[in-house]
Structures are given as structure tokens and as C-alpha cells.
């Protein structure tokens, strides 16, 4: 089983990202061959600072490693290091419907939010994302519910490619979306009707992976609770329900078990217990992160090694795609030459 996911090198990672995505990556190492891509090419589709992007890429790499991704068991790499992603984006753009890209929710939201240039890159963002996954013929993509539309598009792109060029064969694998069961819905602590995010109610509603224990305790102590006094999940109690979900996720327990344990507890007691376990969950990650982040050459070495392994897989897919599309020299003529080799003009 090959598992692929991409993560943005932007923004500070918070508890929702950690439970919903990063910890899923870590556990997927047990189930199959994990390939994890830090998507710096996606990050350039909106306004950004070039020097910042490099720093945030190292931050993200160090967080993934601190969380437990093990470069000897999975592949971690930087998207822009593997040129096959951009070539495949172009080739796949010819089997992608323009109107569909224009209707994508994320494009429309970002288009509205963008005060300056709405770039063509923003429109092509989902095609690059499709190329990311399809280049590895991955079977499974662990990402949140918010990526549903992107997953559907990449599945359609793979199907259309196979129908048009596959000659009855599945040249590109149609991947499955894997949405995490718990933690997919970690909500803002101050406004539990919206997802935890970096742009939500502000600092106090979002627990960051790198927050100090004191900050975590403070945020959980001031988390919004609901009327009533029972620690129980219910649609009328979004605040308490969220805290139950959080505690269940960090303990890797069932939410019902959390309810049972705190059946007689007051809200204050319960919130203190959640804080204690969230601190215990994140503290070791923060400590490992500090060490890893300090050694940039070591991070570069890991990324470089990952890119080498990624390229071996992606270049094989690209050779097939080019061949099927009738682009470049036929595959047989390329035998024995390193993939991606440029033809030299004879004579």
C-alpha cells in the first residue's frame, strides 16, 4: 500500500493540523510505504516572502520529524526538488476541465481573499496537487475533509487520462481519500462552531504545537464551555463536545470512554485534565523539534535523500505518461538512459 500526502510549509501548525494530519502520517508508516511532500510550489500561488518560505519549510520538516516520521521508513521531501511534479502538472492540465477549476471552492475563496494578483497558479493549484499524488501511483491520501474537492478532481483526472491514453490499462492509479476518524473536527476553543485554524478567533482559540505548557494551560482554562454542567457530547454543547474530542484524540481513546470517566466531574476539573494531557502530548514534540530545527544541514540532508528516492518513482511514471501521450522519444528508445535524459541533437 502506497500512501501519499502533501503539507503546506506555511503557517504555524496547530493541534487540529497535528491530530488531523500529522499524527495520521505517523501511524500510516505502520500500514504501508509513506511518501510525504512539503509543498513549496503550492505556497507560491498566493502572496508570500521568499526568505520566509525557506524558513517555514524547515519548520515544517522539523515538526514532521519531531512527530515521529522516520526517514528510514518513509520518504520526506520538498516538492520543488522533484521536477517531475511540474512537468506532470502541465501534461495533466490537458485532461483537466477549465470550468471545473474555476468552480473549485478553494479557488473561489482565495480569489475573493486575494487583494492583488489572482494568479493562474492559484487556478492550477489543484492540478499540481493531482500531479503530486498521481506521480507516485499512490493508493491512499490521508487528508482532511476540506480536501474532498481536490481529491475528487485528481480521481477524475486519473480516470480521464486512463480512458484517453491508457488503452485499457490503469496507467495512473485512482487514489482513495482517507479522512481521519478522530480529530478531523478539532474546533476553535473560543468559537467551537468553526474549525481550529491560524486565522480563527485569534491566539486564544488555537493551541499551537510549539506552544509552551503555560500557554496551553491558559488557553484550555479559558476555553468556551456551554450551559449545563455535564461532560457529554451533544449538538447544543459544541464547546464541551470539542474538548471531549480533543482529549479522546490525544489519549487515542474513545470519546465515550472520556464521557464515562468524567461523568461526575465539573467543567473546571475536566478542562484541567484536558490541559494536562494536551501538554503531555505536545511537550516531547516541542523538545525534539528544538533540537532538529537547530541543525539545518541535517534537515537538508534528509530532504535531499528523500528527493532522490521520490525521483526514482516519479520519473518512471513520467516516462509512461510521456510515452502514452506521444510526447518525447518513444520509451523503448530511452532504455538504458537515465530517466529524464535530454535528447542531444545527432551530428
Let me know: does 123 contact 101? Beta carbons within 8 Å: yes
Closest CA to 17 of 222, 185, 265: 185
CA–CA dist 157, 89 (Å, integer): 11
Asked if 133 interacts with ligand TRP (CB under 6 A), we say yes
Stretch that binds ligand TRP, among 139-147, 256-264, 279-287, 334-342 (CB under 6 A): 139-147
Label residue 297 left, alpha or beta by phi (over 0 means left) and psi (-120 to 50 means alpha). alpha
Closest CA to 250 of 212, 281, 216: 281
Q: Which of residues 17-56 bind ligand TRP (CB under 6 A)?
A: 39, 42
- From the number of C-beta atoms within 10 Å of its C-beta (0-12, 13-18, 19+), residue 33 rates as middle
Q: Which of 84, 132, 245, 323 binds ligand TRP (CB under 6 A)?
A: 132
Smallest gap, in angstroms, from Cβ of residue 327 to ligand TRP?
23
Asked if 317 interacts with ligand TRP (CB under 6 A), we say no
Give the residues across from 14 on adjacent strands.
208
SS3 34: strand
Asked if 5 interacts with ligand TRP (CB under 6 A), we say yes
Asked if 84 interacts with ligand TRP (CB under 6 A), we say no
Asked if 197 interacts with ligand TRP (CB under 6 A), we say no
CA–CA dist 147, 204 (Å, integer): 26
Asked if 93 interacts with ligand TRP (CB under 6 A), we say no
Smallest gap, in angstroms, from Cβ of residue 216 to ligand TRP?
24
**Residue nearest ligand TRP (C-beta atom):** 6
Task: Determine the length of the chain.
Answer: 347
Asked if 143 interacts with ligand TRP (CB under 6 A), we say yes
> Vertex 31, ends 27 and 33: CA angle to 5°?
100
Let me know: does 79 contact 155? Beta carbons within 8 Å: no
Smallest gap, in angstroms, from Cβ of residue 129 to ligand TRP?
4
Asked if 299 interacts with ligand TRP (CB under 6 A), we say no
CB closer to ligand TRP, 140 vs 217: 140
CB closer to ligand TRP, 144 vs 192: 144
Stretch that binds ligand TRP, among 4-12, 60-68, 250-258, 315-323 (CB under 6 A): 4-12
Stretch that binds ligand TRP, among 89-97, 143-151, 186-194, 292-300 (CB under 6 A): 143-151
CB closer to ligand TRP, 7 vs 210: 7
Smallest gap, in angstroms, from Cβ of residue 8 to ligand TRP?
5
Size of the residue set binding ligand TRP (CB under 6 A): 13
Asked if 129 interacts with ligand TRP (CB under 6 A), we say yes
SS3 84: helix
CB closer to ligand TRP, 178 vs 286: 178
Q: Which of 92, 141, 172, 173 binds ligand TRP (CB under 6 A)?
A: 141
SS3 24: helix
CB closer to ligand TRP, 8 vs 201: 8
Stretch that binds ligand TRP, among 2-10, 53-61, 237-245, 328-336 (CB under 6 A): 2-10
How much of the chain is in helix, strand and coil states, percent to nearest 5?
Answer: 55, 5, 35
Q: What is the DSSP string of 137-175?
A: T-SEEE--GGGHHHHHHHHHHHHHHHHHHSTTS-SS--P
Let me know: does 42 contact 9? Beta carbons within 8 Å: no
> Which residues of this chain interact with ligand TRP, rule CB under 6 A?
4-6, 8, 39, 42, 129, 132-133, 141, 143, 147, 150
Amino acid at each position: 500500500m502506497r500512501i501519499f500526502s502533501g503539507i503546506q510549509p506555511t503557517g504555524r501548525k496547530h493541534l487540529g493540523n497535528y491530530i488531523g494530519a500529522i499524527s495520521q502520517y505517523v501511524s500510516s508508516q505502520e500500514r504501508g510505504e509513506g511518501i510525504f511532500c512539503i509543498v513549496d510550489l503550492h505556497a507560491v500561488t498566493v502572496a508570500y516572502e521568499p526568505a520566509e518560505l525557506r524558513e517555514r519549510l524547515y519548520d515544517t520538516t522539523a515538526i514532521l520529524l519531531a512527530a515521529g516520521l522516520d526517514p528510514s521508513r518513509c520518504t520526506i521531501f520538498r516538492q520543488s526538488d522533484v521536477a517531475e511534479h511540474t512537468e506532470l502538472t502541465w501534461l495533466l492540465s490537458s485532461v483537466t476541465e477549465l470550468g471545473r477549476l474555476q468552480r473549485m471552492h478553494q479557488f473561489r475563496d482565495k480569489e475573493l481573499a486575494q487583494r492583488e494578483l489572482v494568479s493562474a497558479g492559484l487556478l492550477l493549484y489543484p492540478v499540481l496537487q493531482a500531479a503530486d499524488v498521481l506521480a507516485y501511483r499512490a493508493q491512499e491520501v490521508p487528508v482532511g475533509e476540506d480536501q474532498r474537492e481536490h481529491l475528487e478532481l485528481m480521481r477524475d483526472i486519473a480516470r480521464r487520462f486512463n480512458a484517453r491514453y491508457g488503452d485499457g490499462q490503469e496507467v495512473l492509479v485512482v487514489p482513495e481519500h482517507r479522512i481521519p476518524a478522530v480529530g478531523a473536527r478539532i474546533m476553535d476553543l473560543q468559537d467551537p462552531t468553526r474549525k481550529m485554524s491560524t486565522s480563527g478567533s485569534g491566539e486564544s482559540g488555537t493551541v499551537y504545537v510549539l506552544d509552551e505548557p503555560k500557554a496551553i494551560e491558559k488557553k484550555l482554562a479559558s476555553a468556551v464551555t456551554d450551559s449545563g454542567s455535564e461532560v457529554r457530547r451533544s449538538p447544543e454543547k459544541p464547546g464541551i463536545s470539542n474538548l471531549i474530542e480533543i482529549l479522546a484524540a490525544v489519549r487515542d481513546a474513545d470519546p465515550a470512554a472520556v464521557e464515562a470517566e468524567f461523568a461526575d466531574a465539573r467543567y473546571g476539573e475536566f478542562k484541567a485534565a484536558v490541559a494536562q494531557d494536551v501538554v503531555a502530548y505536545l511537550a516531547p514534540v516541542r523538545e525534539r523539534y528544538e533540537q532538529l530545527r537547530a541543525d539545518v544541514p541535517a534537515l537538508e540532508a534528509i530532504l535531499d535523500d528523500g528527493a532522490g528516492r521520490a525521483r526514482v518513482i516519479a520519473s518512471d511514471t513520467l516516462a509512461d505518461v510521456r510515452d502514452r501521450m506521444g510526447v518525447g522519444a518513444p520509451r523503448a528508445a530511452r532504455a538504458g538512459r537515465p530517466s529524464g535524459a535530454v535528447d542531444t541533437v545527432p551530428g
